[in-house]
Amino acid sequence: MKQKVRIFIIILMALAFFAGCTSDSQVADEVQELAFSLRTEFREYTNEEINALLLEEIISSDPDLWDFMVLEPNKPIQDSTFIQVGAPIEFTDFKFVVQIGFGCAETGYRLYHILIEDKNVVIEYIIDYWQEQRIPDISLWEDISYFLNQ
């Protein structure tokens, strides 16, 4: 039962956020500065509102106050269209669920995830993605792209 709920949560998160995949016209616009949007289940933040302190505060806050956080660039970072964090809950053994998505309908979607206990590692991944436009090393992450193609 626990595994089924975990898989269900993963599928819902992935489907909900691949819907916002960047269009080709946005990718082709090289003049456009990289900007981000940030969503939680309670609020959406504009690029101007996003800063390292905000990202850290959300991740560090009580998991009862947030379920997820999605950080999306206005154009892909090395083909990545978003990174998201699910708050620790009993179905994930109280670990953060971090997922990163790649691609669009034209190129195909890929989704990877990892469960992490250390919130400082999660904060580092999110801030590096936002500030440095750096993708985490996903070599040890689980490829769950097959959920998208069912």
Per-residue pLDDT of the chain (150 residues; tens, 9 = 90+): 555 445 545 554 555 555 545 444 444 444 347 999 999 988 999 999 999 999 999 999 988 778 999 999 999 999 999 999 999 988 888 899 999 999 877 778 899 999 999 999 999 999 999 999 999 999 999 999 987 766
Q: How many domains does the chain have?
A: 1
Give backbone dihedrals phi and psi of 110, rounded to 5 degrees, phi first.
-135, 140
24: containing domain: 2-149
pLDDT of residue 5: 45
Q: Which residues of 34-51 are buried (b: 16+ CB within 10 A; e: fewer)?
A: eebbbbbeeeebeeeebe
Residue 41 CB contacts under 8 Å (≥ 6 apart), including other chains: 66, 67, 68
pLDDT of residue 38: 97
pTM across the whole model = 0.78
Rg (CA), the chain: 15
pLDDT of residue 21: 52
User: What DSSP string describes 17-74?
Assistant: HHTTPPPHHHHH-TTSPP-EEEEESS-EE-GGG--HHHHHHHHHS-GGG-SEEEEEES
